[in-house]
A and B are shown apart, each in its own frame.
Chain A
């Protein structure tokens, strides 16, 4: 008889909630949810066009892991807003499900002997990668959206490579476990008792051999998990919409009130002051836009830019951190027209490298691909919502393009170099 005071004994674990059904329900929810997280994560990575230019690429040694990269489209214009809103909001919503799933299987961690065969030993190592990986991804993500950069290194490589390590372990886990989970759920629906999990330790069941008197049913336990998810969702999702909806995002980083009022009052990523942009260098006298291309270099003041044909686009700001604004009404010079100024046919405009006045920080330069430059909605914006840009939104001029991650909409633009990158 194993000593029930030790966690390596099944009798140590008393909760009457644990069992194959509880674990299977949570597992199937996570299977769907994490698959969406992985796909939207990969899409978000592709949206940066990392293979276009080194300035867009925070993971230059990605190798085969970038196998699927493609030219990020400009349609629909809310594509990145939707993708990233889903990635971050769903990730936050799944946290209670993940915690409950880990809780439901924790007794297995202590099962002895540690390994009964080579395959079993390797599977347990794989489970460490699975649990370590999923927590690493959730922790780095949750810290990054709150601007708490305590993790060891740049967010992009950690979250991207970490996702692949996790995914490798996740696929094995799904292949080995999902069939049993689905069978369990089917049996439960047909009113039969669930089978015991056909996992690696059949002699170490999830169902407690001496359960404590229940204080809540299994269904009640699931309601609590669902309630936690609903609470997180409800206090987060609003940061993807302007107006009263944003105020419902009570604890999300870009929830609550907007930073200002009026045409420039919408959400900001990095203020002018935080990037060291001074009024002196953006003044009418000092600032000139330098446009370089096949036919040479053109210098334009803001007044000269305002004399060029101006166009309007309704486009959102959508951040990798999972917040976004509704469509704002931008007005400025089309990127394709700027390409035409320096010797290109607007319909055959090439890629462009955009450099900011900003001297430090990631993405002070960013590259846009030809399809983004040619899109008539892509602007070098001078005004927003009927007024000149505020310093925090990129005065004197900023890029705004459809469906791109926020950081590629370079603010305080100083130089634009057209040409194949």
Chain B
């Protein structure tokens, strides 16, 4: 007799499978409606959002962060990374969330829809960014001065 080839597929927890089956049923029900109009574009946005975040945005800011830490480390001030990282992260966050307004992408129809001037968002973002970096620099200077004062005077 020839030996029977058996491909063994591990199934996993039956409870988990049941839960996932329920979930996919709802995904299917809502999904066909989500994809009803322009299935390709919507699917592209849905999957693209995850891929763009995980494979582009996240590596980008991780690399930028590492560059800051390493260049400060090379200058012997690795512990000062936070003074750059915090204002940069907060400023980048505001830019990410309000990009359409800050970049002026919607400057055409924003005023006609709201009666408000579409200008000024860029200036306000730059101002907030300046305040964040300025505040961070001030904090660093104050802490450095305090550290210098607390240091015992050098022996002559």
A-side interface residues, number (CB < 8 Å): 78
Please, which residues of chain A bring their CB within 8 A of the CB of B94? 231-232, 235, 251
Given A126-B23, A228-B90, A271-B112, CB of A152 within 8 Å of CB of B16 = no
Does B27 sit at the interface, judged by CB under 8 A?
A: yes
Asked if B45 contacts A136 (CB within 8 A), the reply is yes
Asked if A215 contacts B101 (CB within 8 A), the reply is no
Please, which residues of chain B bring their CB within 8 A of the CB of A224? 85-86, 89
Distance in Å: Cβ of B58 to nearest Cβ of chain A: 6
Asked if A106 contacts B58 (CB within 8 A), the reply is yes
How far does the alpha carbon of A69 sit from the alpha carbon of B58 in the complex, in Å?
39
B36 partner, pick from A61, A106, A135, A164, beta carbons under 8 A: A61
Does B120 sit at the interface, judged by CB under 8 A?
A: yes
B11 partner, pick from A118, A152, A176, beta carbons under 8 A: A118
Asked if B90 contacts A162 (CB within 8 A), the reply is no
Asked if A126 contacts B20 (CB within 8 A), the reply is yes
Nearest A residue to B86 via CB reads A224
Asked if A128 contacts B113 (CB within 8 A), the reply is no
How far does the alpha carbon of A251 sit from the alpha carbon of B98 in the complex, in Å?
7
Contact with A along B27-56 (1 / 0, CB 8 A): 101110110111001101111011001100
Does A250 sit at the interface, judged by CB under 8 A?
A: yes
Asked if B33 contacts A120 (CB within 8 A), the reply is no
Asked if A119 contacts B120 (CB within 8 A), the reply is no
Distance in Å: Cβ of A159 to nearest Cβ of chain B: 10
Nearest A residue to B115 via CB reads A259
Please, which residues of chain A bring their CB within 8 A of the CB of B116? 254, 256-257, 259, 268
Nearest A residue to B132 via CB reads A231
How far does the alpha carbon of A133 sit from the alpha carbon of B30 in the complex, in Å?
12
Please, which residues of chain A bring their CB within 8 A of the CB of B145? none
Does B64 sit at the interface, judged by CB under 8 A?
A: no
Give B64-114 interface residues, CB cut-off 8 Å to A. 69, 78-79, 81-82, 85-86, 89-90, 93-94, 96-98, 100-102, 105-106, 109-110, 112-114
B-side interface residues, number (CB < 8 Å): 64
Ranked 6 nearest A-B pairs via Cβ: A119-B12, A152-B41, A164-B30, A117-B12, A259-B115, A135-B49
B109 partner, pick from A228, A269, A274, beta carbons under 8 A: A274
* Known contacts A118-B9, A126-B20, then 17 further A-B pairs from the complex at CB < 8 Å, ordered by chain A residue: A95-B93, A117-B11, A119-B13, A120-B12, A135-B49, A135-B53, A143-B100, A151-B45, A157-B33, A157-B34, A158-B34, A164-B29, A168-B23, A168-B26, A215-B82, A251-B124, A271-B114
Distance in Å: Cβ of B45 to nearest Cβ of chain A: 6
Asked if B106 contacts A231 (CB within 8 A), the reply is no
Distance in Å: Cβ of B49 to nearest Cβ of chain A: 4
Residues of B within 8 A of A (CB): 9-13, 16-17, 19-20, 23-24, 26-27, 29-31, 33-34, 36-38, 41-42, 44-47, 49-50, 53-54, 58, 62, 69, 78-79, 81-82, 85-86, 89-90, 93-94, 96-98, 100-102, 105-106, 109-110, 112-116, 120-121, 124-125, 128
Asked if B115 contacts A260 (CB within 8 A), the reply is yes
How far does the alpha carbon of A175 sit from the alpha carbon of B19 in the complex, in Å?
9
How far does the alpha carbon of A131 sit from the alpha carbon of B48 in the complex, in Å?
11
Does A142 sit at the interface, judged by CB under 8 A?
A: yes
Asked if B106 contacts A146 (CB within 8 A), the reply is yes
Does A109 sit at the interface, judged by CB under 8 A?
A: yes
Give A16-68 interface residues, CB cut-off 8 Å to B. 59, 61-65
Asked if B27 contacts A129 (CB within 8 A), the reply is yes
Does A132 sit at the interface, judged by CB under 8 A?
A: yes
Asked if B30 contacts A116 (CB within 8 A), the reply is no
Please, which residues of chain A bring their CB within 8 A of the CB of B112? 271, 273-274
Given A106-B58, A215-B79, CB of A171 within 8 Å of CB of B10 = no
B19 partner, pick from A61, A176, A235, A392, beta carbons under 8 A: A176
Does A324 sit at the interface, judged by CB under 8 A?
A: no
